[in-house]
Amino acid sequence: MSKPLTPEAVEAKRERERLVVTQMIGVYCRGNHKTPRGQLCPECAALTEYASARIGRCPFMATKTFCSQCRVHCYAPAQRQAIKDVMRYAGPRMLLSHPVMTVRHGIDTLRARQSHQ
C-alpha cells in the first residue's frame, strides 16, 4: 500500500483532472459542434464549469481513479450522461491530440488502483 498523498499532491491531481476534463470537452465540442480550437459552444462551456466545480469539491480526490468508479455519483443525471458522451467520444482521440496528458492520466489511474490493492 502506498503512502497517502500530501495536500499539495491532492491539489495537483485535482488540477490535472480539471485540465484533462477540459481538454476532453474541447475535443468533443470541436468534433461534434464544429467549434474552433480553444473555443466551446455554450453547452460545452456550461458542462466544463459544472465538471470543474464537482472536481473542486470531490472529497475522494486522494484515492479515486475515475469518477465512473466512485461510490458516490455527484453529477446530476443530465450532466452525468453528457460527460459519459464526452468521455466515449474524446477518450480514444485524446491519445492523438494530447498524448502526454493521456499517458499522465493513465499513470495517475494506475497509481490510485495500486494503492487500493
Structure confidence at residue 1 (pLDDT):
46
Kindly report, residue by residue over 53-73, the tens digit of the pLDDT: 999 999 888 877 677 677 888
Structure confidence at residue 72 (pLDDT):
83
Cβ atoms within 10 Å, residue 84: 13
Structure confidence at residue 29 (pLDDT):
98
Query: Which conformational region is residue 4 in: left (phi greater than 0), alpha (psi within -120 to 50 degrees), or beta?
Result: beta
Q: What pTM was estimated for this model as a whole? A: 0.84
Q: In angstroms, rounded to a whole number, what is the distance separating the alpha carbons of residues 68 and 60? A: 13
> 54 and 102 in contact (C-beta within 8 Å)?
no
Comparison of pLDDT for 70 and 2, the residue scoring more: 70
Domain segments of the chain as ranges: 11-112
> 31 and 73 in contact (C-beta within 8 Å)?
no
Mean pLDDT score across all residues of the chain: 87
Structure confidence at residue 115 (pLDDT):
62
Structure confidence at residue 116 (pLDDT):
56
Percent of the chain with pLDDT over 90: 52
Comparison of pLDDT for 51 and 117, the residue scoring more: 51
> 37 and 30 in contact (C-beta within 8 Å)?
yes
